[in-house]
């Protein structure tokens, strides 16, 4: 594995929530010459990404929320999926009214959004499948 490939693998493992010890072990198993350097480079890449424009960071967060939603649906965690969907919708500024004012996302335990809202339609679909 080249150093660049090791950095990409390390970034993926960090995003998946693995600890440094786990990452070091996995990289050593892949015969990476210097796992510490791969971890350091991955951290530097993340630091550089933090300086990207707000729209880029927002896009990243939206994609991660969508990936989380996909994984939660894959394992059947519907409650988690609904929460991920709410976060994705919040990040995408889906909660707007016709007047152009922003409506905050519903909080856990609060009433569901009004009829005709995309989130409400999805919630009904998920509940119907149970």
- Lowest mean pLDDT: which of 61-65, 76-80, 118-122? 118-122
Distances (CA, A) of 103 to 64, 69, 107, 116, 117: 23, 22, 12, 15, 12
What count of other Cβ atoms lies within 10 Å of the Cβ of residue 85? 22
As a whole number of angstroms, the distance between CA 30 and CA 26 comes to 6
Report the pLDDT value the prediction gives residue 24, as an integer from 0 to 100: 92
Distance from chain centroid for Cα 22: 21
As a whole number of angstroms, the distance between CA 42 and CA 106 comes to 36
The predicted model gives 69-98 an average pLDDT of 77
pTM above 0.75, yes or no: no
Report the pLDDT value the prediction gives residue 101, as an integer from 0 to 100: 53
Read off the pLDDT of residues 61-72 as tens digits, 9 standing for 90 and up: 888 888 888 898
Q: What is the domain partition of the chain in residue ranges?
A: 3-49, 54-129
Distances (CA, A) of 8 to 4, 64, 67, 95: 6, 16, 17, 34
pLDDT bin (cut points 50, 70, 90) of residue 97 is very low
Which residues does residue 96 pair with via DSSP β-bridges, in sequence order?
102
User: Are 42 and 10 contacting, i.e. CB atoms less than 8 angstroms apart?
Assistant: yes
Among left, alpha and beta (phi > 0; psi -120 to 50; other), residue 77 is beta
């Amino acid at each position: 594995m080249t150093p660049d490939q090791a950095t990409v693998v390390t970034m993926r493992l960090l995003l998946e929530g693995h600890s440094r010890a786990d990452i070091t072990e996995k990289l050593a198993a892949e015969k990476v010459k210097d796992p510490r350097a791969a971890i350091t480079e991955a951290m530097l890449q993340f630091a550089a990404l933090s300086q990207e424009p707000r729209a880029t960071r927002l896009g990243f967060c939206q994609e991660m929320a969508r990936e989380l939603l996909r994984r939660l649906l894959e394992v059947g965690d519907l409650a988690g999926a609904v929460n991920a969907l709410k976060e994705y919708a919040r990040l995408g500024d889906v909660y707007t009214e016709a007047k152009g004012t922003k409506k905050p996302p519903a909080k856990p335990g609060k009433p569901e959004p009004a009829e005709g809202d995309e989130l409400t339609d999805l919630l009904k679909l998920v509940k119907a499948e149970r």
